[in-house]
Amino acid sequence: MTEAPTFYEQVGGHETFERLVRRFYEGVAADPVLKPMYPDDDMEGAIWRLTAFLEQYWGGPGTYSEQRGHPRLRMRHNPFHVNPDARDRWLGHMRAAVLSLALPPLLEATLWDYLERAAFAMVNTFEETP
């Protein structure tokens, strides 16, 4: 009996996740609140980290953990001022990126559900400014 394809495979694998993340960071690069959280000299690193994390989460290669260890999302985001405004901006750019993929509705909803829950979990302050 063959195994059912992973979500990673169903959405198109590496190419799809790379398109998603690059489109997302296009929005971030123009966002006055989020852009300062991503140093210019490490944008490609940020793209790699998010792509590798999402691929691993959805059943793709385990490269993220092999190179960076346990994801520890809350710990890794703790140094940043992630308030509801930053979360909503992040979600706005990510929503545009998800929509740009034109996934089948069930796959889109599954991906979006996770991203939305993850974004809400990263909020670490309710202060307006750092």
Number of folded domains in the chain?
Answer: 1
Question: CB within 8 A of 52, min separation 6: which ones?
Answer: 61, 63, 64, 67, 68
Residue 62 lies in a domain: yes
Please state, in angstroms and rounded to a whole number, the distance separating the CA atoms of residues 94 and 116.
Answer: 9
127 or 94, which is more confident: 94
Residue 128 lies in a domain: no
Residue 2 lies in a domain: no
Q: What is the pLDDT of residue 76?
A: 62
Looking at residue 7, what DSSP letter applies? H
Please state, in angstroms and rounded to a whole number, the distance separating the CA atoms of residues 88 and 103.
Answer: 22
Average pLDDT over residues 9-17: 98
The pLDDT tens digits of the residues spanning 36-77 come to 988 888 899 999 999 999 999 999 999 988 877 766 766 665
Host domain of residue 117: 9-122
Question: CB within 8 A of 46, min separation 6: which ones?
Answer: 25, 38
CATH number of the domain at 112, please.
1.10.490.10
Q: Answer whether residue 93 shows pLDDT above 70.
A: yes
Residue 127 lies in a domain: no
Q: pTM to 2 decimals?
A: 0.91
Residue 3 lies in a domain: no
